Amino acid sequence: MRICCIGAGYVGGPTMTMIAHKCSDIIVDVVDINADRIASWNSDNLPVFEPNLDGLVKEVRNKNLFFSTDVETAVERADIIFISVNTPTKKYGYGAGRASDLSYVEACARTIAKVSKTGKIVVEKSTMPVRTADVIKTILASTGMKFQVLSNPEFLAEGTAVQDLENPDRVLIGGDEETQEGRDAIDVLASIYERWVSPEKIIKTNLWSSELSKLTANAFLAQRISSINSISALCEATGADVDQVATAVGSDTRIGSKFLKSSIGYGGSCFQKDLLNLIYLCEHFNLPEVAKYWRGVVEINEYQKKRFSDKIVESLFRNICGKRIAIFGFSFKENTNDTRETPAIDICRNLLSENAVLAFYDPQVSAEQICADLQIEKTDSRVEFCKSPYEASENAHAIVLLTHWDEFTKLDYEKIKKAMMSPAWIFDGRNCLNHRLLLELGYLVHAVGKGNLS
Instruction: Report the interface residues with ligand UDX, using CB under 6 A.
Output: 154-158, 218, 221, 225, 259-261, 263, 266-268, 270-271, 332-333
Taking the least distance from each CB to ligand ADP, the nearer of 222 and 392 is 222
CB of 27 to ligand ADP, least distance (A): 18
CA 1 to chain centre: 31
- With CB under 5 to 8 Å by kind, the binding choice for 347 among ligand UDX, ligand ADP, none is none
Q: What is the DSSP string of 203-252?
A: EEEEHHHHHHHHHHHHHHHHHHHHHHHHHHHHHHHHT-BHHHHHHHHHTS
Does 316 engage in binding with ligand ADP (CB under 6 A)? no
Does 205 engage in binding with ligand ADP (CB under 6 A)? no
Q: What is the DSSP string of 266-332?
A: --SSSHHHHHHHHHHHHHHTT-HHHHHHHHHHHHHHHHHHHHHHHHHHHHTTT--TT-EEEEE--SS
- Strand 121-124 with 148-151, pairing: parallel
CB of 268 to ligand UDX, least distance (A): 3
Number of residues that bind ligand ADP (CB under 6 A): 21
- For 92, 105, 376, the CA distances from 102, given in Å and listed in that order, are 12, 5, 29
Task: From 273, 270, 236, select the one nearest 338 (Cα to Cα).
Answer: 270
- Residues between 57 and 76 with contacts to ligand ADP, criterion CB under 6 A: 71
Range 82-101 burial, b when 16+ CB lie within 10 A, else e = bbbbbbebbeeeebeebbbb
CB of 144 to ligand ADP, least distance (A): 23
Query: Cα separation of 130 and 174, whole Å?
Result: 12
Does 49 engage in binding with ligand ADP (CB under 6 A)? no
Q: Is 432 among the residues known to form the active site? A: no
Does 90 engage in binding with ligand ADP (CB under 6 A)? no
Count the neighbouring beta carbons within 10 Å of the beta carbon of residue 216.
14
Q: Residues 110, 8: contact at Cβ < 8 Å?
A: no
Q: Containing H/E element for 149? A: strand 148-151
Catalytic residue among 4, 108, 270, 432: 270
Query: What count of residues does the chain have?
Result: 454
Query: Cα separation of 136 and 108, whole Å?
Result: 9
- With CB under 5 to 8 Å by kind, the binding choice for 90 among ligand ADP, ligand UDX, none is none
**Part in contact with ligand ADP (CB under 6 A); list of ranges 103-111, 225-233, 356-364, 404-412:** 103-111
Taking the least distance from each CB to ligand UDX, the nearer of 225 and 278 is 225
- Residues between 4 and 23 with contacts to ligand ADP, criterion CB under 6 A: 6-12
**Part in contact with ligand ADP (CB under 6 A); list of ranges 3-11, 89-97, 421-429, 443-451:** 3-11
Q: Residues 428, 399: contact at Cβ < 8 Å?
A: no
- With CB under 5 to 8 Å by kind, the binding choice for 9 among ligand ADP, ligand UDX, none is ligand ADP
- With CB under 5 to 8 Å by kind, the binding choice for 156 among ligand UDX, ligand ADP, none is ligand UDX
- With CB under 5 to 8 Å by kind, the binding choice for 50 among ligand ADP, ligand UDX, none is none
- Residues between 267 and 286 with contacts to ligand ADP, criterion CB under 6 A: 269
DSSP, collapsed to helix, strand or coil, labels residue 107 as helix
- With CB under 5 to 8 Å by kind, the binding choice for 263 among ligand ADP, ligand UDX, none is ligand UDX
Taking the least distance from each CB to ligand ADP, the nearer of 120 and 435 is 120
Query: Cα separation of 298 and 290, whole Å?
Result: 13
**Positions in the binding site for ligand ADP (CB under 6 A):** 6-12, 31-34, 37, 71, 84-86, 104, 107-108, 126, 269
Active centre residues (catalytic): 270
